A and B are shown apart, each in its own frame.
Chain A
């Protein structure tokens, strides 16, 4: 059997080299796509004000993310399983609440939703690479509490999808963080149901505390499945606790590989 070890070692070394090239290549492509569209968006903010600009901005981001995921799959290092999200685009308005293991979560979900609004950290919205496109798409800056709630409710009342991560930050070390309540208040205010989305990734990837340039294990399987849909709350705190409990149950070890 020793004769087979060397070629196998060579193949795996080549495979690793290929993965590094592809991974860094894709990070670069992502940065360039974001930057390119962000720069193009700046004049469009003036040319296409209001709802029209937001629709165009969101559609282009969704299309760009979908194309990006197709390229990732084509490279052979990533497999996406997002089929369950496909029907959502026609069902609005909805608060889409997902767990947040990785930076790629936004890309996964928005790739299937052409009219999705995200809540973006003010520090990111001020950066060159995202600023223009976030502004054109009318993404909501995460600053003052009540303004965020009212802006988000208005988007839902106009029929859009609102993407939220109730943990308020990425999952740390595979442990779901305590839920923040803003999403429940938005759901109540806009009377829009909360559609849960469960994201499962087979290896740590762009997770909190992990350096961007650490190559993950490949092949990566990025999976999003639809969870239960919850009607808007009457009382916030029991509702927030119920959803947090639901996510914990659904994402518990042993639930990951459930047959679909």
Chain B
């Protein structure tokens, strides 16, 4: 199950999202490759908006709803983290 474990930065993001959204799950149990939307974590568009607020506050990254790459960015925690790490300002 090596591929399923979170690295430190992914875990930090998972913790921030679980705390911010008051999700009923332990951050370390999130599958980094599972989709955030729908079947994976079961989040919907209002959760995505809340995620964007958490990410803006904690990382200084503006996730815009009109970004054409959103599908890819939000496709998994791992991809979201990669996008944040390459754009973060804090």
Residues of A bordering B, CB below 8 Å: 144-146, 149-150, 180-182, 184-185, 188-189, 234-237, 240
Closest A residue to B51 by CB, please name it: A146
Do A235 and B22 have beta carbons less than 8 Å apart? yes
With known contacts A234-B22, A235-B22, A237-B44, A149–B49 Cβ distance under 8 A: yes
Distance (whole angstroms) from the CB of B70 to the closest CB of chain A: 11
Residues of B within 8 A of A184 (CB): 46
B50 within 8 A of A: yes
Do B65 and A236 have beta carbons less than 8 Å apart? no
B69 within 8 A of A: no
Do A236 and B56 have beta carbons less than 8 Å apart? no
B58 within 8 A of A: no
Docked Cα-Cα span, A144 to B53, in Å, equals 12
Name the one of A150, A234, A240 contacting B46, with C-beta atoms under 8 angstroms: A240
Do A145 and B49 have beta carbons less than 8 Å apart? yes
Residues of B bordering A, CB below 8 Å: 21-23, 44-47, 49-50, 52-53, 56, 62-66
Given contacts A145-B52, A146-B63, 10 further A-B contacts (CB under 8 A): A145-B65, A146-B52, A146-B64, A149-B53, A181-B49, A182-B49, A235-B22, A235-B23, A236-B46, A236-B50
Docked Cα-Cα span, A180 to B45, in Å, equals 10
Docked Cα-Cα span, A145 to B63, in Å, equals 10
Distance (whole angstroms) from the CB of B90 to the closest CB of chain A: 17
Show 25 residue pairs from A and B whose CB-CB distance is below 8 angstroms, ordered by the A residue.
A144-B65, A144-B66, A145-B52, A145-B65, A146-B52, A146-B56, A146-B63, A146-B64, A146-B65, A149-B53, A150-B53, A181-B45, A181-B46, A182-B46, A185-B46, A185-B50, A234-B22, A235-B21, A235-B22, A236-B21, A236-B46, A236-B47, A236-B50, A237-B44, A237-B46
Docked Cα-Cα span, A181 to B53, in Å, equals 14
Distance (whole angstroms) from the CB of A155 to the closest CB of chain B: 16
Docked Cα-Cα span, A235 to B46, in Å, equals 11
Docked Cα-Cα span, A182 to B50, in Å, equals 9
Residues of B within 8 A of A236 (CB): 21, 46-47, 50
Residues of B within 8 A of A182 (CB): 46, 49
Closest B residue to A146 by CB, please name it: B52
Distance (whole angstroms) from the CB of A22 to the closest CB of chain B: 43
Residues of A within 8 A of B49 (CB): 145-146, 149, 181-182, 185
Closest B residue to A179 by CB, please name it: B46
